[in-house]
Amino acid sequence: MKGGEVPLTGLEAAPLSWRHRDTWRPLGRLSGVLFCVFLATGMVGALVPLRVIDVTHDYARLATIATVYAAVGVAGGYGWGWLADRVGRRAPFVIGGLAGLALAYLGYWVASSFVALLVVRVVEGAALAAYNVGSVALIGDYVAERADRNRLLGAYRTFGSLAFGITMLTSGTIADMLGPLVPFLCSAGFAALGLLLALGLREAPAPAARSGGAAPVAATPDQRAKARVASSLMASLLVGTFAWHLTMTAVYSVWPNYLRSVGYPRAAITRLWALASLSEVPFMLVTGYIADRVGRRQLLSLAMAVIGCVFLGYLWVPHLPWIAVVQVVRALGYASFLTASLAMTVEASTFERRGRVSGLVNTVGAVGDISGAGLGGSLVKAFSFAGLLWAGSLASLVGAALVPAAGLWPRLIARVRRRG
């Protein structure tokens, strides 16, 4: 068995047929919603700091808003997940999150003070956390019992990469031609379109309802084996998620500045970023198959190792055409991480706890982002861009080794308890 997996039986062993409309409809709708969300967030991701400076003319206030936004993401992740499990529903969090995003992007249009921008950013952070937790939990509910869930999740996440690549190519041009606030209106429109699609979402039936009877009270050996695998996967997932967000945010928070230092204009920088995002699309379609072949934990470790090599590529071959090749390799690493982490989140959780698990993963990623955001600039200031890239590469390779090692911790703890 690969990746510590448990054999699939019954419903789990059946591949998804194109005739299973009750499964394809929600997956198609969730994919459409994801596409709209990434269009919305990608359109203004690079423009929000510019908007804050245009209004406040104060970089200290920009830092305050960014910190508060990150803190909302940390608290909102697990909080929304706990509430989703408490009420036993996911769709309201997807719908509410999209409504909040649409209002937030409209808020950027009208906000004319520091306090107004702070409120808008808080609403955006809370709304995005609610959407992320609700959507991951909901798609997990639908595919958790599918033997081909890894391929389905990879195909699902493809729509996000495609949307983000499109916005990276167009957002700056739209802002230059039509005005700096027009992209915010576009984002509000995309979020509103996603909201309309989300109104048709329905909850996945509980596992007991699918089998037509109540769940057994006593755990079977098969269930205990699955619980041990889930605990092991969860440990690896949390370690990998933190390491990934820490290193990626540390490097990419200043990556445009690094490219500018070696002679790239803004247009070339955004195109290189778009190249990586669009290159993720074909890789997303195959990483699900790779996960089935080598295992999810191994794919997550591979993603960390690949991105460590990418950071060295930026340092050793920073000019065209080789940096374009590095960006394509980056796409492979990013696609591997997204597919592996999403699949592990689904497999490491049960129907009753999927919201909390999704929220916890979201929170750990946000903590990694906060740590990386402060670390990136500090390392550049202390050691130069080369020092940051070397440190990021080393940290990624260490993370690649820790991901499989972390999966052993629950077993070691269980053995110590038994001996005690």
Say if 9 falls within a structural domain: no
Determine contact, residues 44/105, Cβ cutoff 8 Å.
Answer: yes
The yes-or-no verdict on residue 346 having pLDDT over 90 is: no
Query: Are residues 198 and 237 both part of a single domain?
Result: no
Work out the number of other CB atoms within 10 angstroms of the CB of residue 87.
Answer: 11
Q: Enumerate residues 6+ apart whose C-beta is below 8 A from 60.
A: none
The yes-or-no verdict on residue 117 having pLDDT over 50 is: yes
Query: Are residues 188 and 236 both part of a single domain?
Result: no
Query: Are residues 201 and 239 both part of a single domain?
Result: no
**In this predicted structure, what is the pLDDT of residue 417?**
55
Average pLDDT, the chain: 84
Say if 12 falls within a structural domain: no
Query: Are residues 78 and 140 both part of a single domain?
Result: yes
Query: Are residues 189 and 116 both part of a single domain?
Result: yes
The yes-or-no verdict on residue 272 having pLDDT over 70 is: yes
**In this predicted structure, what is the pLDDT of residue 349?**
79
Confidence band (pLDDT; 50, 70, 90) for 15?
very low
HEC string of the chain? CCCCCCCCCHHHHCCCCCCCHHHHHHHHHHHHHHHHHHHHHHHHCCCHHHHHHHHHCCHHHHHHHHHHHHHHHHHHHHHHHHHHHHHCCCHHHHHHHHHHHHHHHHHHHHCCCHHHHHHHHHHHHHHHHHHHHHHHHHHHHHHCCCCCHHHHHHHHHHHHHHHHHHHHHHHHHHHHHHCCCHHHHHHHHHHHHHHHHHCCCCCCCCHHHHHCCCCCCCCCHHHHHHHHHHHHHHHHHHHHHHHHHHHHHHHHCCHHHHHHHCCCCHHHHHHHHHHHHHHHHHHHHHHHHHHHHHCHHHHHHHHHHHHHHHHHHHHHCCCCCHHHHHHHHHHHHHHHHHHHHHHHHHHCCCCCCHHHHHHHHHHHHHHHHHHHHHHHHHHHHHHHHHHHHHHHHHHHHHHHHHHHHHCCHHHHHHHHHHHC
Determine contact, residues 120/104, Cβ cutoff 8 Å.
Answer: yes
Percent of the chain with pLDDT over 70: 85
* Residue where a domain stops, chosen among 206, 236, 260: 206
Query: Are residues 187 and 98 both part of a single domain?
Result: yes
Domain that residue 269 falls in: 224-420
The yes-or-no verdict on residue 14 having pLDDT over 50 is: no
**In this predicted structure, what is the pLDDT of residue 68?**
87
Q: What is the CATH number of the domain that holds 282?
A: 1.20.1250.20
Query: Are residues 201 and 228 both part of a single domain?
Result: no
Say if 341 falls within a structural domain: yes
C-alpha to C-alpha distance for 32 and 113, rounded to whole angstroms: 35
* Residue where a domain stops, chosen among 206, 234, 269: 206
**Selected residue with higher pLDDT from 339 and 64:** 339
**In this predicted structure, what is the pLDDT of residue 101?**
97
Query: Are residues 201 and 235 both part of a single domain?
Result: no
- Compute the radius of gyration of the chain from its Cα atoms: 21
Query: Are residues 379 and 408 both part of a single domain?
Result: yes
Say if 11 falls within a structural domain: no
Say if 371 falls within a structural domain: yes
User: How do residues 407-416 score in pLDDT, each as one tens digit?
Assistant: 776 666 555 5
Say if 10 falls within a structural domain: no
Determine contact, residues 165/45, Cβ cutoff 8 Å.
Answer: no
Query: Are residues 133 and 259 both part of a single domain?
Result: no
C-alpha to C-alpha distance for 56 and 405, rounded to whole angstroms: 47
Q: Tell me what the mean pLDDT of segment 325-330 comes to.
A: 96
**In this predicted structure, what is the pLDDT of residue 225?**
56
* Residue where a domain stops, chosen among 151, 172, 206: 206
The yes-or-no verdict on residue 69 having pLDDT over 80 is: yes
Say if 3 falls within a structural domain: no
Say if 219 falls within a structural domain: no
Confidence band (pLDDT; 50, 70, 90) for 135?
very high
Confidence band (pLDDT; 50, 70, 90) for 229?
low
Q: How many domains does the chain have?
A: 2
Query: Are residues 237 and 88 both part of a single domain?
Result: no
Could you tell me the pTM of the whole model?
Answer: 0.81
Query: Are residues 400 and 299 both part of a single domain?
Result: yes
User: How do residues 173-221 score in pLDDT, each as one tens digit?
Assistant: 888 888 888 999 999 999 999 999 999 888 887 765 444 444 444 455 5
Q: Poorest-confidence range of 6-10, 98-102, 383-387?
A: 6-10
**In this predicted structure, what is the pLDDT of residue 334?**
94
